[in-house]
Structure 1
Amino acid sequence: MSPDTVPSGSLAALIKSLWLHRQLIGQMTKREVLGRYKGSVMGLAWSFINPIFMLAVYTFVFSVVFKARWGGGGGESKTQFALVLFTGMIVHGLFAEVLNRAPSLILSNVNYVKKVVFPLEILPVVSMAAALFHSLISLGVLLVAFTLFNGFLHWTAIFIPLVLLPLVILTLGLAWILASLGVFLRDVGQTIGLLMTVMLFLAPVFYPITALPEDMRSWILLNPITFIIEQTREVLIWGKGPSWAGLFIYTVIASAIAWIGYMWFQKTRKGFADVL
């Protein structure tokens, strides 16, 4: 690709770029994952230790200290609240990790902008792939813990990839937008960090959506992670099938946002070198 060529923002161009650079994406993802623990004695083992430690803390605090119950029913196990809470934290963590990093992706890779012709559009994809790696490990810890605590695992857990896919698509679209805006507006990074914290508490992570008054539930549902959190719990914790109609609508909207985000990124990337 010539540096003077205006990159295409079409869906076909996006798919072609991801396919052509799949090996580069894989190599950069591996470097991203390993680089997080570079220099530590435990190395990659920290990716397993962290979720195990957090789940142990949640279990102790909410089942022993607070004796919390999610639905208030007497048949709920003592560890159920911790598992339900951890599920919500995994979904929010995936969403927040990618978007928190997005505004600084181009700023932290200036050499790719100025010195070489590099497919900058893959940077958010690499960030997403690395976040997915850690989220999948956390999911594995959750599934093992659920099996140990309850003695079984719901077969509906096989639907979890289909439940998370729409969120991945949406997050990628938003990451492309934020990666571009972060170059021109340096305050975006601070704003997103604050917004992710707000979204954590305005989603049913620490409380069931049924605990809210009827007139407030519609506002919580506007949070893009609310639906995915609820569906993740349906298939992992409650053993129910996902809402296929809801997932289809979510995927269509997420795909539209992803395409818009990609087009915006490609349209504005010509100005990155001038600003940086």
Structure 2
Amino acid sequence: MYAFTRDLQSLWSSRRLLWVMTRREIAARYAGTAAGVLWAYAQPLLTAAAYYLVFDVVFAMRLGEHAPTRAVGTYLIAGMLPWMAFCEALSRGMNSLLEAGSVLQKNALPPVLFVARSVLASTVIHAPLLLALALLYGAHHRFMLPVVALVPLLALQLVLCLLWGYALAIFAAALRDTVQLVGFALSVGIFLSPVLFPVAMFPASWRWVLWLNPMTPWITAYQSVLLQGTWPLALNWLIAIVWIALGAMVLEILLRRSRDQLVDWL
């Protein structure tokens, strides 16, 4: 893991520069708008409000007995917001090197800085929304101790997006079709996760397919904490670590093979 460790050291030694770049990234995304960064919260908040109004208030739809909650809108919000945070962080991380190509060709900066900037900026924007869910949902189970599991879950999700976002950024630099393929995978991936329906509703013989989605352990963990006030299952933590370890191994291989050609590809 020499190449990956070297990039981690570069991130740590440039941590102040990374934070400045992250703040500028957030400001640049909403430059020229009156509301500024508030636009980042408009879509997820309006989506959550629509789910609650349509499914819980207007139609009063209910899930089955084995669901973590009976209210459909409440269930959708708990899974949709983490999924939206994952998709944005991964997509921005994947495109980060392509967008920074001209800068990297003129300056000897480590490429990982630009990936980390994009992923961290998306996390800074969405993390408050996920933590706000703890305040809204926690009242239903009296803020039981498992709510603290949200902190390591968010940290691990950041690591997941950084690893796979960096790996996909290298793929995208070598083959531009990666952007379209990943975009399609993310649009389909929501149907192969417990975001729209509980795991119990998926055919038992095909439930293993859900675990091919890297966000499944996180989504089910968030649902356990937010909807039931219980600790995530050990299986959730185990599979989450497996996805992170797999991302680290893939990234190490890509870094070793692309180190000399990466800037030229951009």
Counterpart-to-counterpart distance in 1, 2:263 and 2:137: 49
**Residue 232 of structure 1 aligns with which residue?**
222
**Residue 205 of structure 1 aligns with which residue?**
195
Please tell me whether residue 176 in structure 1 is matched to residue 166 in structure 2. Answer: yes
Q: Percent identity?
A: 27
Counterpart-to-counterpart distance in 1, 2:189 and 2:50: 22
- 2:98 aligned to which of 90, 93, 107: 107
Counterpart-to-counterpart distance in 2, 1:169 and 1:255: 10
**Residue 3 of structure 1 aligns with which residue?**
none
Q: Confirm or deny: 8 A CA contact 2:21 2:117 kept in the other structure.
A: yes
In structure 2, stretches of 5+ residues that fail to align are none
Aligned AA for 1:99? L
Residues 56 and 197 of structure 1: CA distance in aligned 2, closer, same or farther (over 3 Å): same
- 1:67 aligned to which of 60, 70, 74: 60
Within a 5 Å distance, the mapping from 1:8-27 to structure 2 comes to: 9-27=2-20
Residues 245 and 76 of structure 1: CA distance in aligned 2, closer, same or farther (over 3 Å): closer
**Residue 127 of structure 2 aligns with which residue?**
136
Please tell me whether residue 37 in structure 1 is matched to residue 27 in structure 2. Answer: no
Please tell me whether residue 88 in structure 1 is matched to residue 79 in structure 2. Answer: yes
| 202-211 vs 10-19, which moves further | 10-19
Residues 89 and 266 of structure 1: CA distance in aligned 2, closer, same or farther (over 3 Å): farther
- 1:125 aligned to which of 113, 116, 122: 116
Q: Confirm or deny: 8 A CA contact 2:138 2:226 kept in the other structure.
A: no
**Residue 150 of structure 2 aligns with which residue?**
160
**TM-score normalised according to structure 1 size:** 0.85
- 1:268 aligned to which of 253, 258, 261: 258
SS in 2 for 1:224: coil
Residues 245 and 273 of structure 1: CA distance in aligned 2, closer, same or farther (over 3 Å): closer
Give deviations 1:192-247, integer Å, cap 9, x for gaps: 11000111111111110101121111111221111110011111211101224541
| 62-71 vs 32-41, which moves further | 62-71
**Residue 5 of structure 1 aligns with which residue?**
none
| 259-268 vs 115-124, which moves further | 259-268
Counterpart-to-counterpart distance in 1, 2:101 and 2:142: 50
| Cα displacement (A) at 1:76 | 5.8
Aligned AA for 1:92? W
Give deviations 1:166-197, integer Å, cap 9, x for gaps: 33323222111111111121111111110001
In structure 1, stretches of 5+ residues that fail to align are 1-7
Counterpart-to-counterpart distance in 2, 1:252 and 1:209: 20
Counterpart-to-counterpart distance in 2, 1:28 and 1:266: 26
Q: Confirm or deny: 8 A CA contact 1:174 1:257 kept in the other structure.
A: yes
Q: Confirm or deny: 8 A CA contact 1:85 1:206 kept in the other structure.
A: yes
Please tell me whether residue 220 in structure 1 is matched to residue 213 in structure 2. Answer: no
Q: What RMSD in Å do the two structures reach over aligned CA positions? A: 2.6
Please tell me whether residue 241 in structure 1 is matched to residue 234 in structure 2. Answer: no
Counterpart-to-counterpart distance in 2, 1:88 and 1:142: 11
Residues 252 and 216 of structure 1: CA distance in aligned 2, closer, same or farther (over 3 Å): closer
Q: Confirm or deny: 8 A CA contact 1:112 1:120 kept in the other structure.
A: no
| 150-159 vs 177-186, which moves further | 150-159
**Residue 257 of structure 1 aligns with which residue?**
247
Q: Confirm or deny: 8 A CA contact 1:163 1:228 kept in the other structure.
A: yes
| 9-18 vs 38-47, which moves further | 9-18
Residues 248 and 103 of structure 1: CA distance in aligned 2, closer, same or farther (over 3 Å): closer
Residues 262 and 70 of structure 1: CA distance in aligned 2, closer, same or farther (over 3 Å): farther
Corresponding pairs, count: 266
**TM-score normalised according to structure 2 size:** 0.88
